[in-house]
Amino acid sequence: MRIPLIVGNWKLFKTLSEATGLINELKPLIGEIRDVEIVVAPVFTAISSVSAAAAGSPIRVAAQDCYWEPEGAFTGEVSPQLLKDAGCSHVIIGHSERRQYFAETDATVNRKTQAAVAAGLTVLMCVGETLVQREADATFTVLEAQVRGGLEGISDDLLRHIVIAYEPVWAIGTGKTATVEQAQEVHAFIRNLLARLYSQSEADTTRIVYGGSVKPENVAGLMSQPDIDGALVGGASLKADSFAKIVGFHV
Ligand code: PGA
């Protein structure tokens, strides 16, 4: 019912030739896999080259952020419409690095999400607690506020174009993955919250993916959990062999 989704977040890495080179290495490695949705998120400047390199393969392309206006005097910003024009089908919004370093808030996440889904992109909306928040037993309060804030005013119809990415901030780039039990507990909580905010059937069809030090060695355990529908992968998505192993977690 929920197609597994594996997303490689390349962050601020890779030149044009490195980015297209990685796609060319990936294509034969993931050749036979058709039952997993595969997405990579290069930097803005590589989006159209990566889209061209991925054409004819199952690999789809995401941006790592977007603005909410379609056009105008907004120096430095990129709109969802232009992302589509460049070949994106997906966009990551509200990554914890954007919340931490670029003043992203639940309100801006919400505006960006509304604009991106309206433009026809699938949004990966990121939520996650910091270590301090987890240790203060605030995990569920923080996540509830982030999910509610990010989805404010989003209808059932638009929710179908949104994937929630749970990324505990303390697990990102630290090599410290959440245990499968910790991740499953949060995913079940988020699904439950979606059922309260929308309906059980919307909650059952919305994908919730995990991110934070996902590697070939731990992906199968995470994916075996009933409420974990995929992975948002940073470091391990930068090399073709490790990303292909993650995409092929079930083969
Ligand atoms: P990581 O990053 O896999 O390197 O921990 C995940 C992310 O930030 O999306």
pLDDT digits (tens, 9 = 90+) for 189-233: 999 999 999 999 999 999 999 999 999 999 999 999 999 999 999
Report how far residue 70's alpha carbon sits from residue 13's, in angstroms, rounded to the nearest whole number.
Answer: 27
Q: Which of 37, 90, 95, 187 is catalytic?
A: 95
* Interval 130-155 mean pLDDT: 97
Catalogue the E-assigned strands of 50-189. Answer: 59-63, 90-93, 122-127, 162-166
**Strand-pair partners of 162:** 123
Cβ(172) – ligand 1 distance below 6 Å: yes
Label residue 177 by pLDDT band (50, 70, 90). confident
49 lines ligand 1 (CB under 6 A): no
Q: Is the pLDDT of residue 174 over 90?
A: no
Per the listing, tokens 């370093």 go with 101
Per-residue pLDDT, averaged over 174-189, amounts to: 92
For ligand 1, is residue 128 a contact (CB within 6 Å)? no
Ligand 1 test: best mutation among 177, 222, 232, 237, most atoms within 8 Å of CB?
A: 232
User: Catalytic residue at 161?
Assistant: no
What local confidence, expressed as pLDDT, does residue 205 receive? Answer: 97
Burial (Cβ within 10 Å: 0-12, 13-18, ≥19) of residue 63 = buried
Going from the C-alpha of 92 to that of each of 34, 69, 251, the distances in angstroms are 22, 16, 27
pLDDT at 178: 86
The residue type of 108 is T
CA atoms of 155 and 123, how far apart (whole Å): 14
